[in-house]
Structure 1
Amino acid sequence: MSSKPTDWTEQLPQAARDYIAGRRLDEVECIVADIAGVARGKAMPASKFAFQDRFFLPNSIFLQTITGEWADNPMGAFTEPDMILTPDFSTATAAPWTADITLQVIHDVNDQQGNPVPVAPRNLLKRIVGLYEAEGWKPVIAPEMEFFLVARNLDPNQPIIPPMGRSGRRAAGKQAYSMSAVDEYGKVIDDIYDFAEAQGFEIDGILQEGGAGQVEINLAHGDPVALADQIFFFKRLIREAALRHDCFATFMAKPIEGEPGSAMHIHQSVIDVKTGANIFSEADGSESIEFMYAIAGLQNHLPAVIALLAPYVNSYRRYVPDFAAPINLEWGRDNRTTGLRVPISGPEARRIENRLAGMDCNPYLGLAASLACVYLGLKERRMPRPECTGDAYMNDTDLPYNLGDALDLLSDSAPVREVLGIEFCTVYEAVKRNEYKEFLQVISPWEREHLLLNV
């Protein structure tokens, strides 16, 4: 127990205060993101939260796989010491789908000596942002979130299919940017808007993507940690909106065979803190040498962080030609066949779009990995390969073909391991190798169909 003031609600963002204004706050969810980006923590009555400024969770939450199993602790004895979690009130936001009046608050994660726990994903992103700050830079990102609305899938043995639209037909594919396609599941979109407004989040735009039931939400550019918090919250928000209308929202990289995958494109630039200028542009508006260094950093180091951008066996099903996904590390101006695209913009908004991250990645880790590559590029001061001006799908792939290969690249990259932190990389690899081993023990329908009677 502690001396937290009873007027703690005055520390909340305006949207959270507006949400509880004139109403009795029932519950507070105290949460952190685990390695997968799943919310872990405790819920407690608001009356208790008012007098408790910290709580405890074992550090083993960062050793849990997506299946609920536990990886062996590669850093020593598995004694599960408690970590100290303290609220970051700037993250407080509504949970408007709950029956009671509830707030969610992301917590900072420190060890018992007060040091940030290095394997906590949010701490890792803060670490990378801190490297930029030490150089007098401020990283700026803008994420795009793609996901599918799908029919309820109650049997994992059955394929995922598109949801039923208001017309009574299944959502159709190959309808990119169609407004009528979005209208098919307009009630879900309406709830997404309403929930986002209650939570104080700004949506830059919503559009229909190329897949059947596939939607893209764009967020305005800003601070990496704040936007990672929003994506973390948005995933839950979108799932809850879908459940209200008898469908699922999925962020799997490739949920439906024959349809495009779902990406989390990351637009990134860097600001000089002293001048406020975009370091990717010269004073005359031309591209700077730092812009080229940043592209080179992505080309040179993205292979080693693919395990963070594509964290599951399913992730690698997205990296195939002709499905609007990158298969290489080429760069080009306004070229969507390249893994690294330079969008059309004015000098002040010059940026690089990293198209490799899947929407299944933990947003804290995906942003940290991409920013780490740019940071390394700016420090190493190397030039990129020549610009690709044609169809980059015609080139050989630069990417690992599966999670095991991607983890090997992470394990072998000294520069990436140093920037991300040895302890984080070691724990992350242990968790992901455990997941990969579990997957390899599963016999797929393809194997039963083609091998059972033919080999």
Structure 2
Amino acid sequence: MSWLDHIPEAARLWLDGRRPDEVECIVSDLPGIARGKAMPATKFGRQSRFYLPRTIFQQTITGGWAEVPLPESATEPDMILTPDYATATAAPWTADVTLQVIHDMTLQDGTPVPTAPRNVLRRVVAAYAEMGLTPVVAPEMEFYLVARHTDPGVPIAPMIGRTGRAAAARQAYSLSAIDEYGPVIDDIYDFAEAQGFEIDGITQEGGAGQLEINLRHGDPVKLADEIFFFKRLIREAALRHGCFATFMAKPIEGEPGSSMHIHHSLLDAQRRNVFSDADGAETAAFRHFIGGLQRHLPSAIALLAPYVNSYRRYVKEFAAPVNLEWGRDNRTAGLRIPISEPEARRVENRIAGMDCNPYLGIAASLACGLLGLREERDPAPEMTGNAYASEGAVPRGLYDALDLFARAEDLRALLGPEFSQVYSIVKTTEYDEYLQAISPWEREHLLINV
């Protein structure tokens, strides 16, 4: 198995001289679900490429298919999957010795599949490279541990902790709250170590059973790969202990939503942070990046908040800014500048939900900043007070967000015209499917009152 010579050290250490039994060949679809095929490791080692229909990127979150007016929609031609051995990592929850490998996706002529989320992010990173810049990101992942839930008609409940009581809300940063589900966290740490992922910290958030995991800063594609892997490992750790992990934006009524805050900085060819000058002062690039986020994020919300549930998170003073104000060390602002040394100066986008596809969420956020650099767009004045009192700048529903995205020509060109077309159609299809469902609120308040 000569291909094992090309896998990361963490994967080799986890194997510890064992031969893998199975390899999972995976890619991310539009929602961020792992798609692909599993095969015996011996067969994987004999093949250099694999095949899947490229129409998997036309599939909705419900498993339906959007009607996309492209030639491949009818014939479903294969795309070519080539292993990216640098992504090989353990699947430590399986009974046998299994590795996961993310694959590069190309058309049969060798060009990148334009609708693949990982390729969309690479496209944006390449646009930065054309300007001599390297983007660096650091994501924060929020999620809930909830009780097992098998009936969609019943509200989601917090998990039961080791004391036998349901996880308590409004216990932000409480170590005792984290201890309630210590066994789940222990497995998250163990799985992450086996997979070679570095966790910067775990904290209790404000919701009942809500946690946040911070990752170290680094390359956008690598970090998106890690979030893609992390969501699966967290779910597997939860299942071991009789609960579910959910990355819904708003899973529990009356509780805060779950976000994916994204920290951004940019490096020049000498690996210097272009947001700070030689004297440590803020630069024009820093201001233009913020200006780009303020100008273009409304048009990108459809990628940062991709489902109808996503907009339930955007409630004022529920730890989810609905504004695009910017401020230093101001958590009420949608765009926060954390306290840091000049070489670590960065912009934190607090708008994205944890339910977004990590490749697309990071790509959209970086794209907005890049457009600001191109346009040399200055931001609005800094918000020094309570930004929750500001006028909301975020679309309040998926339909409005998709309408803004449809009219954002510069953003769509940067992300890719074909991707943008397919994404819009898939999300519109999902919204139409949602409209066919009748909610408990409608039955309670409309059945005999209207």
**1-structure distance, mates of 2:361, 2:63:** 22
AA of the residue aligned to 1:248: F
How far the C-alpha of 1:79 sits from its partner, in A, is 1.4
* Equivalent in 105, 109, 117 of residue 121 of structure 1: 117
Q: Give 2:43's match in structure 1, choosing from 24, 48, 71.
A: 48
Quote the Cα distance in structure 1 between the aligned partners of 2:378 and 2:326.
Answer: 12
User: 2:411 is matched with which residue?
Assistant: 416
Which residue of 379, 383, 396 maps to 1:388? Answer: 383
Match of 1:329 in 2: 324
Give the corresponding residue for 1:92. Answer: 88
**Which residue of 1 is the match for residue 21 of structure 2?**
26
Letter in 2 for 1:419: L
Unpaired stretches in structure 1, ≥5 consecutive residues: 1-5
Which residue number in structure 1 is paired with residue 209 of structure 2?
213
2:314 is the alignment partner of 1:319: yes
CA distance in 2, matches of 1:424, 1:85: 18
Contact 1:88–1:108 (Cα < 8 Å) also in 2: yes
Structure 2 alignment gaps of length 5 or more: none
**What is aligned with 1:133?**
129
The residue that corresponds to 1:243 in the other structure is 239
Q: How does 1:3-402 map to 2 (within 5 A)?
A: 6-76=1-71, 77-273=73-269, 275-402=270-397
**Secondary structure of the corresponding residue to residue 130 of structure 1:** helix
In 2, the alpha carbon distance for the partners of 1:33 and 1:272 equals 30
Counterpart CA distance in 2 for 1:157 and 1:122 is: 35
Q: CA RMSD in A?
A: 0.7
| Secondary structure at 1:85 match in 2 | strand
Secondary structure of 2:74's counterpart equals coil
- Distance (Å, rounded) in 2 between the aligned partners of 1:34 and 1:22: 33
Q: In structure 2, what is the Cα distance between the partners aligned to 1:99 and 1:371?
A: 39
Give the Cα–Cα distance (whole angstroms) in 1 for the partners of residues 5 and 60 of structure 2: 37
Which amino acid in 2 is paired with 1:363?
P
Question: Does the 8 Å CA contact 1:75/1:423 hold for their aligned counterparts?
Answer: no
Pick aligned residue for 1:439 from 434, 442, 448: 434
Shift of 1:254: 0.2
1:430 correspondence with 2:425: yes
Identity of aligned residues (%): 69
- Cα distance, 1:78 vs structure 2: 2.0
> Whole-Å Cα distance in 2 between the matches of residues 364 and 342 of structure 1?
23
Deviation track 1:365-411 (CA, whole Å, cap 9, x = no partner) reads: 00000000111111100111111111111111101111111000000
What per-residue deviation string (whole Å, max 9, x for no partner) do you get for residues 150-194 of structure 1?
Answer: 000110100001000001110000000000000000000000000
| TM-score (normalizing by structure 2) | 0.99
User: In the alignment, what sits opposite 1:3?
Assistant: none
* One-letter amino acid of the counterpart of residue 60, structure 2: T
Aligned pair count? 449
